[in-house]
Amino acid sequence: MSSDYLPALENALQGMVSVNATFAALDDVAQVLADHIGSETGIADVQVGTPQEAVATTQPGVRITLLNAAPIPAPRNEPTPSGPGTMPSPLYISCFYLVNTSGAERDDPVAAHNALGQVMRLIHEMPVLQLPLSTQVTSLPAAHKRLGEGLLRLTQVAVSIEQVAQIWLAMRQPVQHCALLEAGPIQLTSRDPRPRPSP
């Protein structure tokens, strides 16, 4: 899996433009993906969780599963706070998600194919999200309107058939319709300041 999610030009401009998203909790990232996919594709059943197998219905479904979260170096121009009462530096990570679609019987996977195509086209056409999504989507649940700040970059990761098979084998499930997405860079902010020294 490549961690080269920023083009060279953006690396050069890192000191001038913030190209990352800030979250208070890791699970918020997947929820933003679910809200974005659901609102833009019109697919009603988009959830964060374990992959869902094909079922006897024509209604499409999407499941978003976190496969890996990898720490990455902080930008060179990122200040390093120090001293009691200050907040620790944010953790920079890149997240890899398995997006699995379902919605038809195993011998008639048309709905799952269509849902996967919609998701992949959406990521291709909108690779960067402005957060929070409430600035673009007014129908979000109140609890989700303020998730994240900044720019969230989404990249489709090319994987071989053998790699796909290994992923599903590790999950002990049959191979299903899926795509792999990378989201990042992401800042996870600290909730607790550094303790002040005892008097």
pLDDT in tens, 23-34: 999 999 999 999
- Identify whether 105 is part of a domain: yes
Residue 138, domain member (yes or no) = yes
pLDDT of residue 166: 95
Cα–Cα distance, 101 to 115 (Å, whole number): 6
165, two tokens: 């098979």
State residue 57's pLDDT score: 60
pLDDT at 180: 97
User: Three-state SS for 115?
Assistant: helix
Q: What percent of the chain has pLDDT over 90?
A: 51
Q: Where are the beta strands (DSSP E) in the chain?
A: 21-23, 45-48, 61-71, 91-102, 128-131, 149-157, 178-188
Counting every residue, how long is the chain? 199
Q: What are the residue ranges in the chain where pLDDT is below 70?
A: 1-19, 53-58, 75-87, 104-108, 136-145, 191-199
Query: 150 in a domain, yes or no?
Result: yes
Say how many domains are in the chain. Answer: 1
Per-residue model confidence (pLDDT) at position 54: 58
Q: How far is CA 105 from the centre of its chain?
A: 28
CA 103/CA 41 separation, integer angstroms = 15
Give a yes or no: residue 81 inside a domain: no
By C-alpha distance, which of 115, 102, 95 is closest to 174? 102
* First CA to last CA distance, the chain: 49
Asked whether residue 111 is assigned to any structural domain, the reply reads yes
Domain-located, residue 145? yes
pLDDT for the residue 60: 83
Q: Is residue 20 part of a domain?
A: no
- Measured CA to CA, the distance from residue 193 to residue 87 in angstroms comes to 4
pLDDT at 149: 92
Domain range enclosing 39: 25-75+99-188
pTM of the complete model: 0.79
Task: Confirm whether 87 is domain-assigned.
Answer: no
